[in-house]
């Protein structure tokens, strides 16, 4: 899938990335009382001044109630989807450990509700190839390929079922090979790997994460965006390429003190460079708030 963007700033394609967005449990109560718009009020201008906004959607959006047998099970109501689009959200990463919480029917429904409201799902498909295929964002000749994958074992979910809906669950070797082949054929296209990985509540990436990041950068990734640990992990650069191991939560009800720190990243792509803008946020009442200087 290729999407084209047009605006007055022809020289830069800008994409905002966030961590986990949960729209259930404690967050649901805020949505019911204040509306979803209140949760994003502090960052809505950041979203709307960017060409694209990619969130990690940490729950299915569906009327289907068919919960998996697992500890934490989430579900958001479909009426949130058009409001998300109105806030400036353009893409939702589905390759994580919660978008399947209501089974395959819930996942299919989530994909449908997103597409019907102009939000592009990432990391979803009916075959291995579909799930690994990148989404391309293009603006005035600047192209960015987004690859979305979960590198964790997903609780009570079968990873290998061809011709049935699923999320992208490759090995690191499979993902790196797909990126390597894509970059070889599209040398002028930037590649961004959006990964659900790592250990919860660990503020430093594991040795395995560092190995996987290096492998992806060597294979042709120009940036890595990560989430799942619920806390910020210190960013790095590998061969000059930005690696954000974990952005932490974004819209969430987690009371852990470290889980209330959030990082929003805006990557700005030109024909010959990538620059990063970082915004430190603090989560209060489930919503990201700018830190006072």
Mapping DSSP onto H, E and C, the string for 88-137 reads: CCCEEECCCCCCCCCHHHHHHHHHHHHHHCCCEEECEECCHHHHHCCEEE
Counting the structural domains of the chain, the total is 1
CATH of the domain at 192: 3.60.21.10
Determine the pLDDT at residue 30. Answer: 98
pTM of the model: 0.96
- Residue 173, exposed/middle/buried by CB under 10 A (0-12, 13-18, 19+)? exposed
Domain that holds residue 69: 2-290
Looking at residue 291, what is its pLDDT?
Answer: 72
pLDDT tens digits along 135-157: 999 999 999 999 999 999 999 98
Q: How many residues would you count in the chain?
A: 293
Ranges of the chain whose pLDDT falls below 70:
1-8, 159-160, 292-293
Instruction: Tell me what the pLDDT averaged over the chain comes to.
Output: 95
6-58 pLDDT, tens digit per residue, is 555 779 999 999 999 999 999 999 999 999 999 999 999 999 999 999 999 99
Which residues on adjacent β-strands are paired with residue 21? 57, 251
Cα separation of 119 and 139, whole Å? 18
């Amino acid at each position: 899938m290729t999407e084209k963007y047009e605006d007055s700033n022809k020289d830069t394609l800008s994409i905002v990335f966030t961590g986990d967005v949960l729209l259930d449990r404690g967050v649901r109560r805020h949505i019911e009382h204040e509306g979803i718009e209140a949760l994003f009020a502090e960052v809505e201008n950041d979203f709307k001044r960017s060409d694209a906004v990619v969130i990690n959607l940490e729950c299915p959006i569906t009327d289907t109630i068919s919960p998996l047998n697992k500890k934490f099970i989430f579900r958001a109501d479909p009426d949130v989807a058009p409001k998300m689009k109105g806030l400036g959200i353009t893409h939702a990463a589905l390759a994580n450990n919660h978008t399947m919480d209501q089974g395959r029917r819930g996942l299919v429904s989530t994909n449908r509700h997103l597409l019907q409201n102009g939000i592009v799902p990432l990391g979803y498909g009916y075959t291995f190839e579909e799930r690994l295929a990148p989404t391309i964002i293009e603006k005035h000749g600047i192209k960015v390929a987004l690859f979305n994958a979960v590198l964790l074992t997903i609780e009570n979910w079968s990873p290998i079922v061809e011709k049935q809906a699923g999320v992208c669950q490759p090995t690191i070797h499979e993902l790196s090979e797909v990126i390597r082949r894509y970059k070889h054929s599209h040398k002028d296209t930037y590649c961004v790997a959006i990964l659900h990985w790592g250990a919860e509540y660990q503020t430093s990436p594991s040795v395995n994460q560092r190995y996987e990041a290096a492998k992806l950068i060597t294979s042709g990734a120009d940036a890595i965006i990560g989430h799942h640990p619920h806390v910020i992990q210190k960013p790095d650069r590998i061969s000059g390429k930005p690696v954000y191991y974990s952005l932490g939560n974004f819209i969430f009800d987690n009371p852990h003190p470290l889980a209330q720190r959030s990082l929003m990243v805006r990557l700005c792509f030109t024909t010959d460079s990538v620059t990063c803008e970082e915004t430190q946020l603090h989560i209060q009442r489930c919503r990201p708030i700018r830190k006072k200087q």
